[in-house]
Structure 1
């Protein structure tokens, strides 16, 4: 089946504390987004890649691509006012209607090749593939009064991306009106009454959000280089 990836990077990165959005900050000598695009290109050669950015950032991105001599093929698409709208804009630009699409946070550059490939394999069989990892810490549920209740972490999982789907089904799912409970693409898919399939993700597949995440990202890159 034909394969595509929609990389969503529409955030302003306010928690990073700087004037440059997190997706353009360098790690290992290149902006975060370039590492993410390369991860998909290496895992699935020939994959169609769509990069969803705020339209105001198009010129900045093109300047960065020229500065870093970054030439991996991808199409730029303008994001919306929310992640839901940005993903929907990306889905509308897919070059085919019969195939598979992985929807991924642009600031998750450390997704493993095997996770990407497994997500496509599972989605082809069942319609969807959502990577998850077990919780390591204890968790408590806090109600509106501040009272907390112990929860068995064995019943919970952390959800990552890429969240991969059969194109026809996810495009149908995104035709609905946006709702507050749509926290990721899996919840949009589930809203149709379809059950999602889970696959094991990789713990290093962090979402770079804070300065501490950047420091950890540099460590992960250095470890990756040392293992080559």
Structure 2
């Protein structure tokens, strides 16, 4: 099967608090997005890589590519006004009509190659593969009247990316009207009445969002 990956980095990263969006900040001397592109290229050398960016950042990204002599082949696609629209634009840009596509947050550069490979294998078998990890902390459910109740954590999972799908099915899913409950690609897929398949993710696969995340990212990069 042909394989593609859509790396979504269409946001402005305002929670980082700096003048440059988080996806372009350096870890171990290279922009975050380059690390993410590299791990997908290593995991699946023949993969088609699509990078979704704000259109106004195309020039900045080209400058970074030249500065770092970045040679991994990828296509750039303009993001939309929401993550849903950005993913939809990325799906349209996939050059083939039958195969598999992984959708991944561009600011999750520490996903393991094995997780990417497992996601494609599971999606080929069952239509989808959503990377998740178990909870370590106790959790409580809050109610509208200010009370809280214990929940058994073994029944819950933290959702990561990649979220990998058979291309025809996820394209059909994204033909629907965008809804507030679409917090990720799995919820769009489920809206069609299809059950998602879960696979183990890796705990280091953090979504870099805050300055504290950058400190941890530098630590993870130093371990590699």
Q: Is TM > 0.5 for Structure 1 vs Structure 2? A: yes
Aligned to 2:98: 98
Whether 2:161 is the aligned partner of 1:161: answer yes
How much does 1:129 deviate? 0.2
How much does 1:26 deviate? 0.2
Residue by residue, what CA displacement relative to the aligned partner does 1:174-198 show, whole Å, maximum 9, x if unpaired?
Answer: 0000000100000000000000000
Q: Which runs of 4+ in 1 moved over 4 A?
A: none
Aligned to 1:60: 60
For structure 1, which segment, 69-78 or 140-149, has the greater mean C-alpha deviation from structure 2 after superposition? Answer: 140-149
Residue by residue, what CA displacement relative to the aligned partner does 1:95-146 show, whole Å, maximum 9, x if unpaired?
Answer: 0010000000000000000000000000000000001100001111112232
What SS class does the counterpart of residue 4 from structure 1 fall into? strand
Whether 2:89 is the aligned partner of 1:85: answer no
How much does 1:43 deviate? 0.2
Tell me the distance in 2 between the aligned counterparts of 1:20 and 1:122. 37
What SS class does the counterpart of residue 103 from structure 1 fall into? strand
Tell me the distance in 2 between the aligned counterparts of 1:221 and 1:23. 15
Write out aligned runs for 1:35-50 (5 A): 35-50=35-50
Tell me the distance in 1 between the aligned counterparts of 2:56 and 2:146. 41
Aligned to 2:108: 108
CA RMSD of aligned residues (A): 0.6
What SS class does the counterpart of residue 215 from structure 1 fall into? helix
Aligned to 1:146: 146
What SS class does the counterpart of residue 161 from structure 2 fall into? coil
Aligned residue pairs, count: 224
Tell me the distance in 1 between the aligned counterparts of 2:148 and 2:218. 36
Tell me the distance in 2 between the aligned counterparts of 1:138 and 1:14. 30
Aligned to 1:28: 28
Q: TM-score, normalised by structure 1?
A: 0.97
Tell me the distance in 2 between the aligned counterparts of 1:58 and 1:107. 17
How much does 1:20 deviate? 0.5
Aligned to 1:71: 71
Tell me the distance in 2 between the aligned counterparts of 1:16 and 1:151. 32
Aligned to 1:180: 180
Aligned to 2:196: 196
Q: TM-score, normalised by structure 2?
A: 0.99
How much does 1:94 deviate? 0.5
Tell me the distance in 2 between the aligned counterparts of 1:147 and 1:79. 40
